[in-house]
Structure 1
Amino acid sequence: MKQAGTVLVLAGRFDPTADLVIEELNRRAVPVFRVDIAEFPLRLALSASLSGAAWYGTLSTDRRTLDVASVRSVYYRRPTRPQFPHGMSPEARKIAEREARLGFGGLLTALPCRWLPPPGKAADAEYKPLQLRVAAESGLSVPRTLITNSIGAVHAFADSLSGPMIYKPFSHVRGVVGNQTAAVYTSMVNPEDLAPEDVATTAHLFQEWVPKDHEVRLTAVRDRIFAAEIHSDSPTGRVDWRSDYASHSYAVCEPPEPVRRGVLRMLERLGLPYGAFDFVVTPDGDWRFLEVNPSGQFGFVEQSTGLPITAAIADYLEGTEYD
């Protein structure tokens, strides 16, 4: 059964992943209203009132108007923060941003429709310590992990391992260094090379190195599972495949049934309808969970393998029911 109404897409202005979903919805003749939260309040007007137990009103740009009561689903794909007048003081901007989040964001959250993903649940799921605990509770195999700002704890952890140790950031760290784009990826580390004062500055995540035959990006859309092997033939790509996309080759694969069940159980416990999971597959064929991204990209996998991930997402947003 299909629901009527408009799919509201909240995404940055340039987002190829969101573009794929919108193109599929357009092909199905499903109404779409795309906007970035950055357009509020300067280029996006909001007016809504409560009548009985429902909110009625509009979101309007200079070109289009959305009836908020018509929203059937929301695709929440990394929108950017509200933009305010340049002359606004830092104090006023801070208050205005909080009010925008609670007012504009609160209204959207109050709409009785499905989200992919629900922003609050997605924000919680971004916490790596929570992911790892829930993954283990869900029956997935998780590498030994340390979170610390103590160099002594790092040395003790490294001594307890039977092999190498890696460091990885808690989030995607990107920036500009010397006019060049730079990023921090997973790396092999020797505790003897770490400065105690650097470790002490913040929380760091260290894990045992898991020997790998290849990695897998497993994308789950509710109960649909799409898995692809990622093979990398470069030294950096072997440590973190995100560091060298040019070295990749892909192959569709079928996850073991315990992994499939663990993934679906994990999504249920996190309250997510979608997740982009990363696994290492050891030379012995064991699947080891690394992380899940509640709004991760999928286009590169679909383009390389033909897996119908976009269609599954569109099904969910359109309201198509499937077994």
Structure 2
Amino acid sequence: MAAPAPVLVLAGRFDPTADLAVEELNRRKVPVFRADTADFPQALTLSARFEDGRWTGTLASRRRSLQLETVRSVYYRRPARPRLPADMDPEARKVAEREARRGVGGLLMALPCRWLPPPGAAADAEHKPRQLRLAAEAGLHVPRTLITNDPAEAETFAVSLGGQVICKPFLPVRGMLAGRGASVYADVISAQDVASPDLATTAHLLQEFVPKTHDVRLTAVDGRLLAAEIHTTAGANRVDWRRDYTDHVYKTCVPPPDVARGVQRMLDALGLTYGAFDFAVTADRWAFLEVNAHGQYGFLEQATGLPITAAICDYLEGVAR
């Protein structure tokens, strides 16, 4: 009897979300090879040949190896960039890193297997302006939005919406401030704030404030929609629930039919099988905020019992629903 085909998990060394999938695949007795591209080329070796119309070869760590032609699926969890020797010439490092990314990443993408999510589609999906257009085309409600570095235009927009708007980053912003970790979250700002000359220094995303009753995180996996309401009483947290998880109350829910259809249409347009969707829910509708092709879900699964890991592993294993 042939050995079952393995799943390749590409993830950083410390990734609790990847851990959940690995544990579930191990429970199902599905072979797993976990690797971080940061280990290439110092602790990860690649050798592959193209013959007779297909790629064959080996990806090997210091302890294990993977036959590339046997891979059934790849779980792509934001692996890190290749880590090159510290004593390399800076210019040589740039070239070597580029070649490593193209060589390793390009080869893995050439394997005839399913990805969750496909790296190219996931990268394209990060662009919020495109997300908003595709969401509207899919039939989802999208709050009025302005992207600008013009303080006068920003002030006019804010005044037209009652004097305040939401300001949010295009991508997560995390770093260190005074020796402590710091993040930038969506926040409410006034027309006076957006009129500041500082706004002219870069592009800003301003959006209509939605007077929501609660938020919903909807995790879509291969046609399965697993949604949870997120309720919080904290003031600033009403704008962006990610500021503080300590006062959350979660409750599973079922998305309205029009939202469910819109989510699937949007995923199809993005070329994704997985997406973590955020909605602001008012008394009469769900307003689309964003979708994340790598969205975390462990906190929701733990709080609600939603079978998100199982759904992901069904797809990676190739289990028919």
- TM-score (normalizing by structure 2): 0.97
Alignment partner of 1:288 is 2:287: yes
Consecutive aligned runs of 4 or more in structure 1 exceeding 4 Å deviation: none
* Cα drift, residue 70 of structure 1: 0.7
User: Aligned letter for 1:276?
Assistant: A
Question: Is the CA contact (8 Å cut-off) linking 1:11 and 1:36 kept in structure 2?
Answer: yes
Distance 2:163 2:305 in 1: 37
| One-letter amino acid matched to 1:265 | R
DSSP-derived class of the 1:181 partner = strand
Partner of 1:309: 308
- The answer on whether the counterparts of 2:21 and 2:313 sit within 8 Å (CA) in structure 1 is yes
Q: What is the correspondence of 1:5-84 to structure 2 with a 5 Å cutoff? A: 5-84=5-84
Give the conservation status (yes or no) of the 8 Å contact 2:164–2:191: no
8 Å contact 1:236–1:244 — kept in the other structure? no
Q: Which residue of 1 aligns with 2:171?
A: 171
Q: Gapped runs of 5+ residues in structure 2?
A: none
Q: Distance in 1 between matches of 2:160 and 2:195?
A: 20
Q: Is the 8 A contact 2:7 2:31 kept in 1?
A: yes
Q: Which amino acid aligns with 1:267?
A: L
Query: Contact (CA 8 Å) 1:150, 1:196: kept in 2 or not?
Result: no
Query: 1:203-222 maps to which residues of 2 (within 5 A)?
Result: 203-222=203-222
> 1:295, CA displacement in angstroms?
0.9
* Cα displacement (A) at 1:68: 0.4
Paired residues of 1:214 and 1:230 also in contact (CA < 8 A): yes
Displacement of 1:239: 1.0
Q: Distance in 2 between matches of 1:89 and 1:130?
A: 39
Which position in structure 2 is the counterpart of 1:321? 320
State whether residues 4 and 72 of structure 1, in contact with CA within 8 Å, keep that contact through their aligned partners in structure 2.
no
Could you say what secondary structure the match of 1:23 adopts? helix
| C-alpha displacement of 1:4 | 4.2
- Fraction of identical pairs, as percent: 63
3-state DSSP of counterpart to 2:264: helix
- Find the aligned partners of 1:151 and 1:266 in 2 and give their Cα distance: 32
Query: Match of 2:255?
Result: 255
Q: Between Structure 1 and Structure 2, how many residues are aligned?
A: 319
Please list every run of 5 or more consecutive structure 1 residues that lacks an aligned counterpart in the other structure: none
Tell me by how many angstroms 1:163 deviates.
Answer: 5.8
Corresponding residue of 1:109:
109
State how far apart, in whole Å, the 1-side matches of 2:303 and 2:82 are.
35
Q: Give the whole-Å Cα distance in 2 for the aligned partners of 1:263 and 1:58.
A: 38
Tell me the SS of whatever aligns to 1:104. Answer: helix
1:91 deviation in Å? 1.0
Per the normalisation by structure 1, the TM-score is: 0.97
Counterpart-to-counterpart distance in 2, 1:89 and 1:205: 39
Separation in 1, partners of 2:94, 2:156: 43
Contact 2:221 2:275 in 1 (8 A): yes
| Residue type of the alignment partner of 1:142 | V
Cα separation, 2, equivalents of 1:58 and 1:7: 14
Secondary structure of 1:280 counterpart = strand
Shift in Å, 1:38: 0.3
Structure 2 residue matching 1:245: 3-state secondary structure: coil
How many angstroms does 1:194 deviate by?
4.0
Q: Give the 3-state SS of the residue equivalent to 2:124 in structure 1.
A: helix
Q: Which range moves more in the overlay, 213-222 or 154-163? A: 154-163
Q: 1:61 to 1:111 in 2, by over 3 A?
A: same
| SS of the residue 1:314 aligns to | helix
SS in 1 for 2:290: strand
Give the conservation status (yes or no) of the 8 Å contact 1:163–1:209: no
Amino acid at match of 2:306: L
Return the letter of the residue paired with 2:284. Answer: G
- The 5 Å alignment of 1:266-285 reads 266-282=266-282, 284-285=283-284
The one-character-per-residue Cα deviations of 1:83-126 (angstroms, maximum 9, x if unpaired) are 00001122111111110111110000000000000000000000
TM-superposition CA deviations, 1:263-317 (whole Å, max 9, x none): 01100110000000000001x2310000000010011110000010000000000
AA of the residue aligned to 1:297? Q
The Cα shift of 1:195 comes to: 6.1
Matched AA of 1:167: C
The one-letter code sitting in structure 1 at the alignment partner of 2:317 is E
Distance 1:92 1:154 in 2: 44
Aligned residue in 1 for 2:186: 186
Query: Is 1:126 matched with 2:126?
Result: yes
